[in-house]
Structure 1
């Protein structure tokens, strides 16, 4: 057992580094919304399009999963890293095409993140005892959360627009000058990681079956497992929760009339909550069942959000902190949902991972819909109130949906 653990230790460290990378990129993209809104003069719907272009790439997850069965995990990871490099290097010149030109480059590195995501999760799941798979996924997601905590700070420091008059926007040249340094730097760092990964030797896991375990009969396809589809819907709605909070937080702060607060910078506390929760989750998930923890987290997040809304008019500062504190309960939802959805799949795990990862497009679909609600009603609270529906479904999935096999 110790030899097997040592065998998988280095690959697990490599996967943790990749989780850090795509966590940073994902959150950085979301955190650029305020900058892009000011630079290009966007309305409530347009400002959510970075989420749509980025998370919309996850619709390719099933084809990516099929691709991984043919080329393997390592080649898949190299492909993902190459696309990220290309996307970041293309972002700066793409600004010449305006807002949508820039978003087209975002979609390129988004596809790279999709490939990494689809490859990394089942690989981590397979690196050791299935009973501790949720804990391993939470460990790698903890590194992901470190990145998501750093990214908003990175954006708030480096992507800043000068003071603009109402209705004024920046010329494309000025936007390129602001964006070029950070985006070229991330592209260069990813290129270095790509070159290192090229020369690394990672064990290729041919099947999620472990040595010494009796042969098990599986259905003919991942598409025939109900809990995979129910888990996919859970991820779809979870993305509305995680990204919904971060996307609408600046508007929530403005709606309270609290001055002197840098909302984008304060998001580091939300992502920090995810980081702390995932670090605690490494140990908690070794003692308690993933389904129980998911139930508690969904209810806890709903309670904090409801309390934030109730106190928004009388105690706005408390409401702001309660809004951000939901991150603590959101922290281990992703790895737990993923783990529950991949149970009992054996050789179908790669394609199932693609099915589940496709649902990350929830962030691309749900946040613009919430933006439409906000624009139509003028209320950010009504828009974010959709999260209570998402929380309710996660409780159902934890208690019932994840156990359905036929």
Structure 2
């Protein structure tokens, strides 16, 4: 009878790190609520509205690799503290952006906020994989990512209550308001954004203080790479020489792009009179089902992947997600609302599984590999912008062919692309 597995000695540190996953999940998902809000306030088309996600996720591309160097130099703990502080500063910028009603300033605030979250991800994701048995890294990261999904599940509902509580007027309605009414309306819209983000900034600064005060385990990357099946040499000079990492970066690119595309367009999709025809506030609340499915799937996935290889679960989920999006794209009526919301359940394990599979065997290059993977999150900037262009020209529902292509590539990565070889 095999001996019982010992309790992870890093349980306390892992528990604390889960708070970070919750926080950045909550903040990131608020974008899905702000997109329809700002789209209406500034009378934007889909392409212009997707500049929000472009600026947010562009930060991952520009900041991830420098963040990897920062974490390598100052350590995981200090990287987390700086990341929390920068994120808090980004939240503070929403106050003047809302006060002045300047869309470019909103975009700048999204970039600063995302830069802090990027540093958090570069530090926290590999830290979780290193705090424990390498054999259960995928399961462990999936479990902590489940709390990320808890944040994304709660955010749409609270965003609908506080940010979308005041109905946004069209440009035609604004013209009919007198000066007093217009000032009152603009004040209400500004307050709806200012107060939640001021509160978030306060929380972030408090959490940064907590991390500064506590002691975390000093974990370093392995000094030598793990043996690679089929590798031509036992050591590589750069993470870029690992084929499964490069293919994994592409998988992260298309996964984040596909996930963000669906989340960003859900409110617009559900308010379409030819589909679910919900009000904007009710549609925002239904977004919680999409992210809630991801939360449930991650808790289940952390258990399932103890028994079934992670790559097989990844391939199955990706194929199922592609099928659900296809049905959504071709269908009509209220039921397509549920097929698109169900995609969240199958999205659940994709990011942490791709991330951990791509880092397998990198050893001393783990920090560099984490930076490369986080840079690939820029897919969340490029793919939604691309879908916005198609939505403006061929229609919102038809534009969903893009996430189908994303999920098909992820299925390939789980089937063959994740094999560890150089």
- Same fold (TM > 0.5): yes
User: Are 2:328 and 2:340, in contact at CA under 8 Å, matched by a contact in 1?
Assistant: yes
By how many angstroms is 1:341 displaced?
Answer: 0.3
Q: Tell whether 2:144 aligns with 1:140.
A: yes
By how many angstroms is 1:263 displaced?
Answer: 1.6
CA 113–2 in structure 1, closer or farther in 2 if over 3 Å, else same: farther
Residue 86 of structure 1 aligns with which residue?
89
Give matches, 1:4-403, under 5 Å.
Answer: 5-59=7-61, 60-95=63-98, 96=100, 98-160=102-164, 161-168=166-173, 173-208=187-222, 217-253=234-270, 254=272, 256-261=274-279, 262-312=282-332, 316-377=333-394, 379-403=395-419
By how many angstroms is 1:221 displaced?
Answer: 1.4
Between 136-145 and 396-405, report the one with greater CA deviation: 396-405
1:350-393 Cα offsets, whole Å, 9 max, x none, are: 1100000101110100101110011112x112211111211111
TM-score for both structures, normalised by structure 1: 0.93
By how many angstroms is 1:209 displaced?
Answer: 6.2
User: Are 1:231 and 1:402, in contact at CA under 8 Å, matched by a contact in 2?
Assistant: yes
Distance 1:194 1:324 in 2: 34
Provide the secondary structure at the position in 2 that maps to 1:207: coil
By how many angstroms is 1:218 displaced?
Answer: 2.6
CA 178–401 in structure 1, closer or farther in 2 if over 3 Å, else same: same
Distance 1:238 1:289 in 2: 19
User: Are 2:227 and 2:234, in contact at CA under 8 Å, matched by a contact in 1?
Assistant: no
By how many angstroms is 1:257 displaced?
Answer: 4.3
Structure 1: gaps (5+ residues): none
User: Are 1:126 and 1:208, in contact at CA under 8 Å, matched by a contact in 2?
Assistant: no
User: Are 1:235 and 1:356, in contact at CA under 8 Å, matched by a contact in 2?
Assistant: yes
CA 298–163 in structure 1, closer or farther in 2 if over 3 Å, else same: closer
User: Are 2:128 and 2:140, in contact at CA under 8 Å, matched by a contact in 1?
Assistant: yes
By how many angstroms is 1:241 displaced?
Answer: 1.5
Between 396-405 and 63-72, report the one with greater CA deviation: 396-405
Provide the secondary structure at the position in 1 that maps to 2:269: helix
Q: Tell whether 2:421 aligns with 1:405.
A: yes
Residue 177 of structure 2 aligns with which residue?
none
Provide the secondary structure at the position in 1 that maps to 2:246: helix
1:116-150 Cα offsets, whole Å, 9 max, x none, are: 01111100000111110000001101100100000
By how many angstroms is 1:162 displaced?
Answer: 3.3
Provide the secondary structure at the position in 1 that maps to 2:167: coil
Between 119-128 and 243-252, report the one with greater CA deviation: 243-252
User: Are 2:239 and 2:365, in contact at CA under 8 Å, matched by a contact in 1?
Assistant: yes
1:39-76 Cα offsets, whole Å, 9 max, x none, are: 22211111111111111100121111111111100010
CA 82–334 in structure 1, closer or farther in 2 if over 3 Å, else same: same
By how many angstroms is 1:97 displaced?
Answer: 6.1
User: Are 1:20 and 1:144, in contact at CA under 8 Å, matched by a contact in 2?
Assistant: yes
1:191-240 Cα offsets, whole Å, 9 max, x none, are: 11011110010112122369xx9999431111211111110000000012
Number of residues paired by the alignment? 400
- RMSD across aligned C-alpha pairs, in angstroms? 2.2
User: Are 2:314 and 2:414, in contact at CA under 8 Å, matched by a contact in 1?
Assistant: yes
Structure 2: gaps (5+ residues): 175-181
User: Are 1:51 and 1:363, in contact at CA under 8 Å, matched by a contact in 2?
Assistant: yes
Distance 1:163 1:68 in 2: 42
Provide the secondary structure at the position in 2 that maps to 1:380: coil
Provide the secondary structure at the position in 2 that maps to 1:386: helix
User: Are 1:30 and 1:51, in contact at CA under 8 Å, matched by a contact in 2?
Assistant: no
Distance 2:312 2:258 in 1: 19
